[in-house]
A and B are shown apart, each in its own frame.
Chain A
């Protein structure tokens, strides 16, 4: 079933400084929507406002229905923050039980985890920990998943595996991604938005990224 997430009319300011003013984002089932922007432009804040964990003026609609606190509806939206969010003391077994996911399927895809079923997530490497977090957020049953810097801490092999995984999973849900590894983002996203001076700009061609001063291609 197709679902649509739209966010607009978002306003955010810190101490009189306007961070977000003119935002329009759309994410649909079967598509990966990317968000690029320099540091401090408000990408993470934008995600947190959509998720509802950061208060701000907004209009966030799931299939045209307004939801102010999406974090109360994991069936609608799951969020991967840019930092490790799973308590370090929990074992992978417990995490997969909580998210009602099959560990065997995970270990089959990421074979290096085959013997880590009862291992505490805190004892994994940074990349391993990130991989588990990405997997549970993307694989769990929800209409949409927002990933804030998913490629951080991952080695090149893991990045490629995650990209393949995201391409497969987009058939089940809408994915919304932001990351500074923009070449990977460009490669997997169906739609790219660039956040500049509080406004989102739809990127029609990779050259736009250079035009808006985000990166040199």
Chain B
């Protein structure tokens, strides 16, 4: 999707009569979008290290909520956070060399973990609440 937007931004430069300043602004916007796309792709590459295990745990929690209701939510939430803590420890122990790849491309360790943990937690809350509401 972002790639399409970038493509249209660049190609529109060829079809419109723009001043030099407009062209520079559009190029700048395209560069920002390109950087954003690259950053998201790098974060996704990092997230792939543990997304399968994390989704498996989330879906197990969703199943419990589906079958027993919202009574267990508190316990499941803290359980989910604990497993994320374990995954953090595991990745830091066995994959810490790879941080340099992301850092050399401008994505810090804090940004990698911040964005993936935030997304994973939000996904957990969204799916468990959705399971509760749909039932």
Contact B45 A85 (CB under 8 A): no
The stretch from A37-45, A70-78, A111-119, A208-216 touching chain B is A70-78
Task: Determine how close the nearest CB of chain A comes to the CB of B28; give it in whole angstroms.
Answer: 16
> Which of A71, A83, A89 meets B103, CB within 8 Å?
A71
> Is residue B106 contacting chain A, with contact meaning CB distance below 8 A?
yes
> Is residue A86 contacting chain B, with contact meaning CB distance below 8 A?
yes
Contact B105 A79 (CB under 8 A): no
User: How many residue pairs, one in A and one in B, have C-beta atoms under 8 Å apart?
Assistant: 43
Chain A residues with CB below 8 A from B71, complex form: none
Contact B97 A84 (CB under 8 A): yes
Q: A136–B106 Cα gap in the complex (Å)?
A: 14
> Which of B42, B101, B103, B108 meets A86, CB within 8 Å?
B101
Query: Which residue of chain B has the shortest Cβ distance to A73 in the bound complex?
Result: B106
Contact B98 A85 (CB under 8 A): yes
Query: Which residue of chain B has the shortest Cβ distance to A69 in the bound complex?
Result: B108
In chain B, positions 43-100 with a C-beta closer than 8 Å to chain A are 45, 48, 97-100
Chain B residues with CB below 8 A from A84, complex form: 97
Q: A90–B41 Cα gap in the complex (Å)?
A: 12
Query: Which residue of chain A has the shortest Cβ distance to B95 in the bound complex?
Result: A87
In chain A, positions 85-140 with a C-beta closer than 8 Å to chain B are 85-87, 89-90, 98-99, 136-137, 140
Contact B105 A85 (CB under 8 A): no
Contact A79 B100 (CB under 8 A): yes
Query: Which residue of chain A has the shortest Cβ distance to B42 in the bound complex?
Result: A98
Task: Determine how close the nearest CB of chain B comes to the CB of A194; give it in whole angstroms.
Answer: 26
Chain B residues with CB below 8 A from A74, complex form: 103-106
Contact A85 B100 (CB under 8 A): yes
Contact B98 A53 (CB under 8 A): no
Report the interface size for chain B: residues with CB under 8 A from the other chain. Answer: 15
> Is residue A81 contacting chain B, with contact meaning CB distance below 8 A?
yes
Task: Determine how close the nearest CB of chain A comes to the CB of B125; give it in whole angstroms.
Answer: 29
> Is residue B8 contacting chain A, with contact meaning CB distance below 8 A?
no
Chain B residues with CB below 8 A from A89, complex form: 48
Chain A residues with CB below 8 A from B101, complex form: 85-87
Q: A136–B42 Cα gap in the complex (Å)?
A: 16
Task: Determine how close the nearest CB of chain B comes to the CB of A175; give it in whole angstroms.
Answer: 15
Contact A83 B105 (CB under 8 A): no
Chain B residues with CB below 8 A from A140, complex form: 104
Instruction: Name, among B48, B101, B105, the residue most crowded by chain A CB atoms within 10 Å (CB to CB).
Output: B101
Given known contacts A79-B100, A85-B98, A90 and B45 CB-to-CB distance under 8 angstroms:
yes
Contact B108 A98 (CB under 8 A): no
Chain A residues with CB below 8 A from B48, complex form: 89
Listed A/B pairs (28) with beta-carbon separation below 8 Å: A53-B100, A53-B103, A72-B106, A73-B106, A74-B103, A74-B104, A74-B105, A74-B106, A78-B104, A79-B100, A79-B103, A79-B104, A81-B97, A83-B97, A84-B97, A85-B98, A85-B99, A85-B100, A85-B104, A86-B101, A87-B45, A98-B38, A98-B41, A98-B42, A98-B105, A136-B104, A137-B104, A140-B104
Binding site for A on B (CB under 8 A): 38, 41-42, 45, 48, 97-101, 103-106, 108
6 tightest A-B CB contacts, nearest first: A85-B100, A71-B103, A74-B106, A87-B98, A78-B104, A85-B97
Binding site for B on A (CB under 8 A): 53, 71-74, 78-79, 81, 83-87, 89-90, 98-99, 136-137, 140
